Amino acid sequence: MLNDTRQITVVGGGLAGSECAFQLAEMGHSVVLYEMRAGLGAAGDAQGENSAPASVGKTTPAHKTNKLAELVCSNSFGSCTDYSAPGQLKWEAERMGSLILRSAREAAVPAGMALGVDRELFASLVTEAVRNHPRIEVRHDVIRSLDDIPRPAVIATGPLTDTDLAQSMREHFDGEFLYFFDAIAPIVDYDTIDQFVAYRADRFGKGTKDYFNCPMERDQYFALIEAIKSARKIEPKEFEKDTPFFEGCMPIEEIVARGDQTLRFGPLSPKGLQDPRTGKGAFAVVQLRQDNKQGTAYNMVGFQTKMAYGEQIRVFRMIPGLEKAEFLKLGSIHRNLYIQTPKKLTPWLSSRKDEWLFFAGQITGVEGYFDSTCMGLLVAKFLDDKIAGREISLPPRESAFGSLLNGITEDNDYFQPTNINFGLFPVPPEFAGKRFNRRDDKRGIQLARAKSALLAWDRCETGGLVQAPGGGDVSTEKSAFEL
């Protein structure tokens, strides 16, 4: 039922929900943010002056705290390079005042060309900003049905939606709900990495040598492959057996199943890496990426896995440089869910059956931390337009925001989750129907068009100025906040 006071309900305190709630509050709306995880953090966790008393609450198989925007998989938000699709998405989000991006920058750890964060600091920064906002009330409670939520509402519950609420959504969408598996990589204690074997470097010498690289000779590589194939795996439950994996986050054993050398052309590629002590390359290389601000933990890049815990320790200690590794966190898998967005949601991500019920984040079929965040940011703009009685303004198709939104809303009978990539951007007219020799030329034009289109749209949205967090204005020639 529509709430006459226009108080907006946001369900889910992850990346998309936190971003959406914050943006709506900055626009002047009153927001109630529901997060089911309560009483799970360390003693003394600040609740914030606008938080309701915590109920008993519940957790998920992946979360460890009650903080908002807790990262449960990688600690990387992906590339920040100005020549990549993820980098363009961040460029656009920065100009639109993203809280998540600002917090990630503040909690950044060395990660080469990527935006890696200290996950605890990052969650604390987002939690503080949301809980202390004067127009946001945080309630720790479990929402079990769409019927229990006053409208307008945004559902941003992510891949680990409560079972009862997921069933309510399934019924709302006439039983058409989709699932896939997501996988988590192990994290290694920095002090147990053998630095006489592992060396610091970035591919092709780009970056600031933030990655540890464990070189493998041919025999070592194939021994690892055989160990991965023979290791005991955690078998999926009966209801999970037909669930596919997302291509961008495949368990390592699924990659191996495609061929013994597949890993050498994926996460274990030796391209662009030479041991600075010898000047030589290796047959394969395992990379470790810094996982926290202090540099005490390193993530095994590309080693998402469904191997049993004991098997992970045995197998991964076969990697040169990790023979005595201590694992701060072992890999695991969990089932995600998402909506058949092209058929069930409008182009502005509201239900086709309920115009005041919006959806944001990973549940809409985007994949990746920052991609999910951006859907929360967009939904806040869409809902603000609708409440004000304006025609909903979609981001321009040429922009990264518009390309990602189009990627999950255009008609598609075989819809699967996607993250931002150049394949989603429209082909520039001068390249349409033609072969081209220089891919970088095409992408450069796509990025230039994206920037121009986004700035024109954002000027129109804000009357010539870009809104900065906190309500101030800045010139469109500058960032929405200084980084």
With a cut of 50, say whether residue 45 has pLDDT above it: no
As a whole number of Å, the end-to-end CA separation of the chain is 42
How far is residue 212's CA from residue 210's CA, in Å, rounded to a whole number?
7
Same domain assignment for residues 406 and 439: yes
Beta strands at 8-11 and 153-155: parallel, antiparallel or unpaired: parallel
How far is residue 411's CA from residue 427's CA, in Å, rounded to a whole number?
18
Same domain assignment for residues 207 and 131: no
pLDDT of residue 476: 32
- Once rounded to an integer, what is the mean pLDDT over residues 108-133? 95
Cβ count near 163 (within 10 Å): 9
State which of 308, 335, 362 marks the end of a domain.
335
Q: What is the DSSP string of 141-179?
A: -----GGGSPBSEEE--GGG--HHHHHHHHHHTTT-EEE
pLDDT of residue 468: 36
Same domain assignment for residues 107 and 210: no
Q: What is the DSSP letter of 394?
A: P
Which are the contacts of 137, defined by CB distance < 8 A and separation ≥ 6? 30, 31, 32, 33, 50, 51, 52
- Once rounded to an integer, what is the mean pLDDT over residues 382-411? 95
Q: What is the DSSP string of 448-462?
A: HHHHHHHHHHHHHHH
Residue 479 in domain: no
With a cut of 80, say whether residue 194 has pLDDT above it: yes
Same domain assignment for residues 324 and 390: no
Lowest mean pLDDT among 27-31, 183-187, 472-476: 472-476
pLDDT band for position 30 (cuts 50, 70, 90): very high
pLDDT of residue 247: 61
Strand-pair partners of 473: 467
How far is residue 345's CA from residue 364's CA, in Å, rounded to a whole number?
9
Same domain assignment for residues 153 and 267: no
Residues, the chain: 483
Mark out the alpha helices in 238-320 (DSSP H runs): 252-256, 309-316
pLDDT of residue 261: 93
Q: Closest Cα to residue 18, out of 148, 144, 136?
A: 136
pLDDT tens digit sequence for 357-372: 999 999 999 988 999 9
pLDDT tens digit sequence for 431-459: 765 545 555 688 899 999 999 999 999 87
**3-state secondary structure (DSSP) of residue 442:** helix
112 token code pair: 């080469």
Instruction: Note whether 172 and 295 are within 8 A (CB).
Output: no
CA angle 106, 109, 112 (to 5 degrees): 120
Lowest mean pLDDT among 47-61, 200-214, 266-280: 47-61
Residue 482 in domain: no
With a cut of 60, say whether residue 266 has pLDDT above it: yes
Same domain assignment for residues 102 and 166: yes
How far is residue 305's CA from residue 186's CA, in Å, rounded to a whole number?
8
pLDDT tens digit sequence for 221-252: 999 999 999 999 887 655 455 555 666 667 89
Q: Closest Cα to residue 131, out of 21, 283, 261, 258?
A: 21
Q: Is the dihedral of CA 72, 61, 155, 408 positive or negative?
A: positive
Residue 380 in domain: yes
Residue 480 in domain: no
15 token code pair: 């990346």
425 token code pair: 């951007």
How far is residue 359's CA from residue 339's CA, in Å, rounded to a whole number?
9
pLDDT of residue 413: 74
pLDDT of residue 183: 67
pLDDT of residue 38: 72
Same domain assignment for residues 149 and 226: no
Residue 236 in domain: yes
pLDDT band for position 60 (cuts 50, 70, 90): low
Q: What is the DSSP letter of 257?
A: T
Q: Is the dihedral of CA 459, 461, 464, 465 positive or negative?
A: negative
Residue 297 in domain: yes
Instruction: Note whether 8 and 29 are within 8 A (CB).
Output: yes
- Once rounded to an integer, what is the mean pLDDT over residues 30-54? 61
With a cut of 50, say whether residue 40 has pLDDT above it: no
pLDDT band for position 469 (cuts 50, 70, 90): very low
Q: What is the DSSP string of 249-309?
A: G--HHHHHTT-TTGGGGTTT--TT--BTTTTB--SEEEEEEE-STTS-EEEETT----B-H
How far is residue 56's CA from residue 214's CA, in Å, rounded to a whole number?
45
Same domain assignment for residues 122 and 243: no
Same domain assignment for residues 192 and 309: yes
Q: Closest Cα to residue 60, out of 149, 201, 182, 161?
A: 161
pLDDT band for position 311 (cuts 50, 70, 90): very high
Residue 397 in domain: yes
Q: Closest Cα to residue 353, out of 363, 366, 340?
A: 340
Any idea what the CATH number is for the domain that residue 310 is in? 2.40.30.260
Residue 404 in domain: yes
pLDDT of residue 41: 42
Same domain assignment for residues 169 and 116: yes
Q: At what angle do helices 99-106 and 15-26 cross, to 10 degrees?
A: 120
pLDDT of residue 54: 39
Lowest mean pLDDT among 32-41, 106-115, 342-351, 352-361: 32-41
Cβ count near 170 (within 10 Å): 14
Report if pTM > 0.85. Answer: no
**3-state secondary structure (DSSP) of residue 74:** coil
Instruction: Note whether 367 and 224 are within 8 A (CB).
Output: no
H/E stretch holding 127: helix 119-131
- Once rounded to an integer, what is the mean pLDDT over residues 35-58? 52
pLDDT of residue 345: 96
**Mean predicted lDDT score pLDDT of the chain:** 85
State which of 317, 335, 353 marks the end of a domain.
335
pLDDT of residue 44: 36
Q: Tell me what percent of the residues of the chain surpass a pLDDT of 90.
A: 59
**3-state secondary structure (DSSP) of residue 256:** helix
- Once rounded to an integer, what is the mean pLDDT over residues 457-482? 45
398 token code pair: 């040429």
With a cut of 80, say whether residue 20 has pLDDT above it: yes
What is the residue range of 254's domain? Answer: 183-335
How far is residue 311's CA from residue 86's CA, in Å, rounded to a whole number?
34
Structural domain count of the chain: 2
Kindly tell me the number of DSSP H helices and DSSP E strands found in the chain: 12, 19
**3-state secondary structure (DSSP) of residue 7:** coil
Any idea what the CATH number is for the domain that residue 104 is in? 3.50.50.60
pLDDT of residue 173: 92
Same domain assignment for residues 204 and 121: no
Lowest mean pLDDT among 162-176, 206-220, 459-473: 459-473
Same domain assignment for residues 298 and 419: no
Instruction: Note whether 467 and 473 are within 8 A (CB).
Output: yes
**3-state secondary structure (DSSP) of residue 417:** coil
Mark out the alpha helices in 239-362 (DSSP H runs): 252-256, 309-316, 341-344
State which of 287, 316, 335 marks the end of a domain.
335
